[in-house]
Amino acid sequence: EVLLVESGGGLVNPGGSLTLSCAASGFTFTKAWMAWVRQAPGKGLEWVGRIKNKADDGTTDYAAPVKGRFSIVRDDSKNMVYLHLNSLKTEDTAVYYCTVGAGLCDYWGRGTRVTVSS
Amino acid sequence: DIVMTQSPDSLSVSLGERATINCKSSQNIYYSSKNKSYLAWYQQKPGQSPKLLLYWASTRKSGVPDRFSGSGSGTNFTLTITNLQAEDVAVYYCQHFYGTPLFGPGTKVDI
C-alpha cells in the first residue's frame, strides 16, 4: 500500500521559512518522481513543484508563484522528500500535499497545514 | 501559458442520475507523438485528500467504479458520472499534466 505522510506544517511569520517533510512507503521510491500540491483555504488545487528521480537527472521544476522561494529535495536513502519554503507570504497559506507522479498525481498524502500570518 | 477552465462551477444531481462536467484547455493538450491527451480527473471528497480517477482523458485508475467515464481530446473534455451515488458528492478537478501541470478550478457535485 502506498503511504505518504507529510509533516512540518505550522504557523510562521511573513518572510519566514519552513521545511515540510514527506515520508514515503509502499512503492519503489528511487524510481518515482515526487511532487507537492497545495490548497489554500476554501480554494482549488495548485501544483507547486516536483523532483525527478535520479535516473531522470533528479532535477526540479516549480510553479511560477513559488519559483526562487521554494525548493524540493529528496533523500533516497530515507525515502523522504522535502519542501523548503522561504520568503513566505500570506498567500502561501495552504494545506500542502505530497504526491507521487511525473505530472500525474497518482497518490496523495493527507497534507500538512501551513499558515503564514503575523 | 495554458489555462484550464471547468463548467459548471457546481451542480446538483439526484441519486441515480447522471452528472456531466466539462473541462476546457486553452491549448491543445493532445500530443500526437504520444497519441494521448494529457488530461486527468481527480475527486476530492469533503475533508479528504484528492484522488486520481482517470488519466489520458479516459483511462480509469484501477479500482475506480465504471460509472466514472471520461471523454474528449484536444481542448475539450468531459467527465461523466452515471448512476450517481451519495458517496460521489465531491469536488472534481481536471488537470493537464504535460510540462508544468495545471489544475482546473473545480466543479462541486452535490445531491
B97 in contact with A at a CB cutoff of 8 Å? yes
Band of the pLDDT at A84, cuts 50, 70, 90? very high
Long-range pairs, B25-30, Cβ under 8 A, ≥24: B25/B74, B25/B75, B25/B76, B25/B77, B25/B96, B26/B2, B26/B75, B27/B2, B27/B75, B28/B74, B28/B75, B29/B2, B29/B74, B29/B75, B29/B96, B29/B98, B30/B73, B30/B74
Dist. CA B70–CA B95, nearest whole Å: 13
How much is the pLDDT for B1? 80
Collapsing DSSP to helix, strand or coil, B33 comes out as coil
Q: What is the pLDDT of residues A24-73, one digit of tens each?
A: 999 999 999 999 999 999 999 999 999 999 999 999 999 999 999 999 99
Q: What residues have CB less than 8 Å from A52, skipping those under 6 apart?
A: A33, A58, A59, A60, A102
Dist. CA B45–CA A82, nearest whole Å: 26
The helix (H) or strand (E) run that includes residue A105 is: none
Nearest to B105 among A44, A110, A111 (CB): A44
Is residue B34 scored above 90 in pLDDT? no
State which residue of chain A sits closest to B102, comparing Cα positions.
A47
Q: Determine what percent of chain B is predicted with pLDDT higher than 90.
A: 85
Q: Determine what percent of chain A is predicted with pLDDT higher than 70.
A: 100
First and final C-alpha spacing in chain A: 40
Dist. CA B39–CA A35, nearest whole Å: 17
Least confident of A71-75, A109-113, B85-89, B98-102: B98-102
Instruction: Note whether B108 and B52 are within 8 A (CB).
Output: no
Distance between A74 CA and the closest CA of chain B, angstroms = 19
Band of the pLDDT at B31, cuts 50, 70, 90? confident
The reply to whether residue A97 touches residue B102, judged by beta carbons under 8 angstroms, is: no
A63 in contact with B at a CB cutoff of 8 Å? yes
How much is the pLDDT for B30? 83
What nine digits make up the cell of B66?
465504471
The reply to whether residue A103 touches residue B49, judged by beta carbons under 8 angstroms, is: no
The reply to whether residue B49 touches residue A97, judged by beta carbons under 8 angstroms, is: yes
Is residue B99 scored above 90 in pLDDT? no
B62 in contact with A at a CB cutoff of 8 Å? no
Is residue B90 scored above 90 in pLDDT? yes
